[in-house]
Structures are given as structure tokens and as C-alpha cells.
Amino acid sequence: MRRSTLWVSGLALLLVAGLAHAGEAAKGAEGKAPAKAEGEATKPPEVPKPDIQPDDIGGHATDVVAKVDNVNITRGELTQARRLMATGRRGPLPNNQQILEQLINRALWQRYFDKEGLRPTGAEIQQAIARFDQQLRRRGASYQRYLIARGLTAEEDAALRGYNLAMQRLVNKVQEKITENDIKAEYDAHPEWYDGSRIRIQQIFIDTSNLGSDKKKLDEAKQRIEKVSAQLAEGKDFDRLAKDYSEGAAGSRGGDRGWFRRKGPEVDEPLISSAWGLKVGEITKPIRGVRGWHILKVTEREPAAFTFFGCKRRIRAELTRRRLEAVVDDLKAGAKIERLL
């Protein structure tokens, strides 16, 4: 089953996380214009007509980058989503293919919202915008300046906000069905996923991500990592070998990758799984990962920081994520999807 790419951080399928954070929005808007006069604080925001719906988002360009049944996703929507994701972001942006997958998911969710009666009315969207504007004005900003700062029209913002309202209703609906027994069973099966325990990892890494299917170069990379592994078995210093052989930024730090919890991003799962059972000072054999070969060493361990009761919120969020992911996977299986990018 193809896994969805929208679960980067919790429910990352909410394409514009900033819409839910009035504080960050106010800071962004404050930088665009001086605070309005006192008499303007009571002026209601200009909001779109009630018939604005979430599927009106984007569509500035006519070239189609994907199709979901009879719904076209345009390059304009892709560009807009990328721009909005970049607003206030500190880490790297998803690539265009990952963003496109989120837009495909959005199209599927919108149809699901209609089927399940989750789509908000225009009046409900207007009420949400009015509340948001009040929050901004208390910080000396306004809804209009918020739109300008993000390059959005009122209609586009209303569509995005309506999508988020519908998704929040779905999340609430899913969470209502998660029982205390469900949470306890998940904790009993994998307490280390939620209890805050951590390990610190050093690695020696040989990158194969740019080698494609070149068998000769892939064999040479394997030979290099096996040579390093043999030197470690002879008692050679891990830090020194990491600085001499490891590729990537961590090599100059003696291979230090920092702290990891047991349940991390999917790309790291095979690596963390291999290292988790090691004692401090123990070293793995070479491990083939998504991007290349790794040798891992556990340098520190921290025990559990939370009891079951302290884990319940995180467990509920994880169970919610899984159930939503199962729904969107089913929606994809039942749709004709063409990716044209």
C-alpha cells in the first residue's frame, strides 16, 4: 500500500498551518503596515459571500499537473501551496511531488467531506474569519493585512479555512470513536514509542542515493562500509573513522546524529529499530537504509520520561493519524489519479 505523504507532522494535510495560529499571523501582518487607528478596530473584516466553498482554492494557471477523477489540479494551485507552506517555515520545504500528493489528498478529502456532511457553510466560514480578525486586531493587526502578507485573496483564504474547518470536524469525529481501551492496548504494545525514552546515535554513513542502479559504484560503496566495519571490529576509534570515512554533515562531528525517540520518521525506522536494543557503546553491523549504508553506535540512553497517563495525548494523536491515513488510502484506491508533473 502506498503510504500518504501528508503526515509529516501530525495532521500536515492542513495545507496552511498558519491559518490556525493567530499569534504567528499577527506577527507576519504587523510587519506590513502600522497599526490602524483606534476607530478602525470595530470595522468588520471584508469576508467573501456565503457560497465560497473549499474547492475554489487556487486555479490561477490553466496547466494541469494532476487529475483526480474529473477534478483538475493546476500548477497555480501547486505554486500557491508551496508559497503558503514557506510562510514562517524553518525547516526544508517538501518537494513538488510531495506537495502535489497533498493536493491530491485534498481533492479526495473534499469529496469525502461532502459525502459525510462535514463541509462548513459560507456563514460558518465568515464567523471563523470574524473571530480570527478579532484576534489579529487585539495584536494591532487586521485580517486584510494578514491576506496581503500571504498574497491571498479573501476567497482563497475562505476556501482554505473552510477546508481546515471540515478536517477538524473529521478529526473530532474520529477521536470520539477512540476508546480508553484502544489507547491502553496501543501503549501496552509499544510503550517505548510514547514514553519519552531516547537514545543518542553516532553513525558512519556512505551515501548511495545518487548512484542510481550503477552496480559497480554500489558494490564499491558496500565494500567501503564493510572495510570500515572491519576496522571497528579491530578496535579502531569510531570518532576517527567517522571523520575519515563518513559522508554528510555528521561526519565532521565524529558521526554524532543527536537524540532519537523510538518512533521517528518512517525513513529512519529501520535504523532506529536496529540501534534501539543496543547498550551504550555497542555498534551495529552495516545497515542498508533508504539513502545509503550506515554503521550506528549508541553513545547515551535516557529512560522513560512519562507514565501511561502522560502518554495518552500522544497515543490518541497517533491512533487518529492512522485511522485518517486508512481512510485516504481507501479513497485513493477507489479513484482514478493521474500525476502529470
Residues 6+ apart with CB under 8 A from 126: 47, 48, 50, 158
Between 3.40.1580, 1.20.1300, 1.10.1660, 1.10.4030, what CATH number should domain 17-178+321-339 receive?
Answer: 1.10.4030
Tens of pLDDT along 292-310? Answer: 999 999 999 999 999 999 9
Assigned CATH for 198-302: 3.10.50.40
Asked whether this chain's domains 17-178+321-339 and 198-302 adopt the same fold, the reply is no
Rounded Cα distance between 169 and 117, Å, is 10
State the pTM of this model.
Answer: 0.70
Question: What's the distance, Cα to Cα, between the start and end of the chain in Å?
Answer: 22
Rounded Cα distance between 88 and 36, Å, is 23
Amino acid identity at 98: Q
Tens of pLDDT along 55-79? Answer: 444 444 469 999 999 999 999 999 9
Tens of pLDDT along 168-188? Answer: 999 999 999 999 999 999 999
At 206 the three-state DSSP class reads strand
Q: Name which of 156, 152, 135 is nearest 48 in CA terms.
A: 156
Q: Name which of 30, 65, 50 is nearest 138 in CA terms.
A: 30
Q: What is the pLDDT of residue 88?
A: 74
Q: Where are the domains of the chain?
A: 17-178+321-339, 198-302
Q: What is the largest CA-CA distance in the chain?
A: 78
Percent of all residues in the chain with a pLDDT value above 90, rounded to a whole number: 70
Tens of pLDDT along 26-65? Answer: 344 444 443 443 334 444 455 444 444 444 444 444 699 9
Given a contact cutoff of 8 angstroms between Cβ atoms, the answer to whether 292 and 208 are in contact is yes
Given a contact cutoff of 8 angstroms between Cβ atoms, the answer to whether 6 and 327 are in contact is no
